[in-house]
Amino acid sequence: TFAVFSDYSRNAIRMSSLMKQRVVHVLTHDSIGLGEDGPTHQPVEHVSSLRIIPGLDVWRPCDELETAVAWSEALERRDGPSVLVLSRQNLAQYGNPEDRADGIRRGGYVLSEADGAPQAVIIATGSEVSLAMVAQATLKEQGIAVRVVSMPCTRHFDQQSSGWRKQVLPPEVCRISVEAGQTDFWHKYVGTDGEVLGIDEFGESAPAPALFERFGLTAEHLVQTVLRTIASFGGNDGDF
């Protein structure tokens, strides 16, 4: 688990990737959601650090179906290891539309389409997908069309064709990402005109709802970030 994530754990994951071995690492306690245990049990930097290990598939699923697909992909892989980064929180379930599993396998896909041409795209993973969905509904009430993209595995998404990536993340539409972790990694997906909601400091010891509020990881804050980003967006930005 992340709670006992150590140099040994990191080296074991790194070595399995270096050796291209089919090892499935299952990690828990994926965010600040385990609030009362304090910052030692809140791996705000670990997920991003794992994603930059060459050849490692890092999956942070948002619900049961994404977890099942991630597990299947990890078992079927023959050329390297996978990490499943799981939450201890109770997460919403988003059903099983016919084409959703294929999108999950691609690493990033449109989970919830905008009502009309999208004015912004919210990219989210894991427990923060629920924030994106609430923000989308709130913005819809204000006449703002927003697409929600779930990106459970960035490495799989990066391996897709340019056409697929641009279909999911249109370059002409501003992008905002949200994840309860370090923010630097996500700038490659939102571009210089986009915004990243995350945590660039160690966590604190408090109930999880209080921590999410403190760090601005709320649907309300996300809504305001989307509105601000739309207002300042300069146009086609980024390769995706």
| Spatial contact of 149 and 125, defined as CB atoms under 8 Å apart | no
What's the longest Cα–Cα distance across the chain?
52
Angle between helices 219-232 and 129-141 (to 10 degrees): 60
Q: What is the pTM of this model?
A: 0.88
Question: In the structure, what pLDDT confidence band is assigned to residue 6 with cuts at 50, 70 and 90?
Answer: very low
For range 148-171, the mean pLDDT: 97
| Spatial contact of 30 and 127, defined as CB atoms under 8 Å apart | yes
Q: Which helix (H) or strand (E) holds 197?
A: strand 195-197
Question: SS3 for 63?
Answer: coil
Instruction: Write out the two tokens for 164.
Output: 């697929």
Instruction: Write out the two tokens for 156.
Output: 């799989």
Instruction: Write out the two tokens for 143.
Output: 């006449």
Quick one: CA torsion of 174, 177, 178, 182, rounded to 10 degrees?
-140
Instruction: Write out the two tokens for 101.
Output: 């599993």
pLDDT at 1 over 80: no
Question: In the structure, what pLDDT confidence band is assigned to residue 146 with cuts at 50, 70 and 90?
Answer: very high
State pLDDT tens for residues 13-55.
888 988 999 999 988 776 666 655 555 555 667 888 899 999 9
